[in-house]
Amino acid sequence: MRRHLVVKSGSQSQKGPCKILGGGWTFRQTGCLSTIFNELWSLDVNRMTPGIDYTISFQGRASFVSQGIHTVLDHASQPLFSNVNESKLRNITTFSSFVTLLDNYERSTGVTEQVTTEELTEMDLFLDAVLETKVMKVCVTTSSVEQKVYICEILQHYNLICISLVRSMCVSVLKLIITSLDSSGFEHVFVGETKSGTEIIGFHNWVQFYLQEKNQHLDYKGYKAREHDLPDQDDHVLNLQFSWHGVVKPVGSAFIGTSPEFEMAVFLMNMEGSTTVVVNIDQCQMELVVIRHGRSLGTAYPKLLSSNSRHVRQHAH
């Protein structure tokens, strides 16, 4: 059976098949989102390959911890990342330009960001690199007018709309996309912050995790999963527990190995409203959470539900 969705054009509404490309459509069905995200997945040529470009060591299952606790039982004596292909981090433009942004932020909320001319140039170089990828170009042509209207009203040129969207997600403190005067959605999601010295908020990016772990600012405490759903080396989403500068995050989650452009595209395409949607990407079923504050991104992250196509096998039974 072919899936259908509502196609909106002006005041007209009609039904049409779920397709990868078709600007101006509203993708409300999980099946359609999964189809689009898997197309982005197949186009993500900059994604790193597990076991080749990086190796992770899950070790033990982390225990329950309440928010605000500073001391927890460590179920992982070794780092999560045994190795990462740093040559790719340096030589793939979207990765290298992404890494240059990571030290541009104040870790603590409540501290006003001082953005320099050099940092603004770094932002522009990153955005230019991301917008040149096939992943983001499909994001641009697939996103509906209705999705874009929430951020920048109805515009005629997809590229301009997408640039505006991505810039609002990124570090432009002129377009505040979270409630406080010192934070942005990009910083929250991709870099991480601490609040009142007792809570880690955001921090959902694997590259930042690896670099902070390598520099001994972060301590991986173990994975989080249901009793009979152990993580696998090939999983590209992981739920985990860690401490950062002595502050504990009881449960965090992140894509693993994916490119910055893939993560940004997936979050952008789900910004039609504050939503939690279950999608299937590659062999993983995940909950994709995107929360907006007004027209700006508040937070966005994946939460692994099952991997290695367990959800498919369970449904078959």
For residue 227, give every residue at least 6 positions away whose Cβ sits within 8 Å of its Cβ, in sequence order, or none: none
pLDDT in tens, 63-106: 988 877 778 899 999 999 999 999 999 999 999 999 999 988 87
CA distance 262 to 270: 13
More confident call, 161 vs 89:
89
Is the per-residue pLDDT at 139 higher than 50? yes
pLDDT in tens, 177-186: 322 344 577 8
Mean pLDDT of 220-236: 86
Is the per-residue pLDDT at 29 higher than 60? no
CA distance 262 to 254: 13
Asked if residue 236 lies in contact with residue 258, where contact means CB atoms within 8 angstroms, the answer is yes
Is the per-residue pLDDT at 317 higher than 70? no
Q: What residues are annotated to the active site?
A: 188, 204, 249
Percent of the chain surpassing pLDDT 90: 37
CB neighbour burial string for 270-305, b if at least 16 within 10 angstroms, e if fewer = bbbeeeebebbbbbbbbebbbbbeeebbbbbbbbbb
Please give the radius of gyration of the chain, using alpha carbons only, rounded to the nearest integer: 19
More confident call, 274 vs 122:
122
Exposure on the CB side of residue 110, measured as CA atoms within 13 A: 5
Name the residue type at position 101: L
Is the per-residue pLDDT at 22 higher than 70? no
- Range scoring the smallest mean pLDDT among 3-17, 174-188, 253-267, 274-288: 3-17
Mean pLDDT of 269-295: 80
**Arithmetic mean of pLDDT over the chain:** 76
Chain centroid to CA 212: how far?
Answer: 17
- What 223-228 contacts at long range (C-beta under 8 Å, 24+ apart), as own/partner pairs, is 223/58, 223/59, 223/60, 223/61, 223/62, 224/61, 224/62, 224/251, 225/61, 225/304
pTM (global) more than 0.85: no
Smallest Cα–Cα separation from 158: which of 143, 169, 168? 143
Asked if residue 214 lies in contact with residue 80, where contact means CB atoms within 8 angstroms, the answer is no
CA distance 173 to 129: 20
Q: Residue 47: left if φ>0, alpha if ψ -120 to 50, beta else—which one?
A: beta
pLDDT in tens, 112-132: 667 788 987 888 888 888 888
What is residue 127's predicted lDDT score, i.e. its pLDDT? Answer: 80
- Range scoring the smallest mean pLDDT among 92-101, 193-202, 216-225: 193-202
Percent of the chain surpassing pLDDT 70: 70
What is residue 274's predicted lDDT score, i.e. its pLDDT? Answer: 59
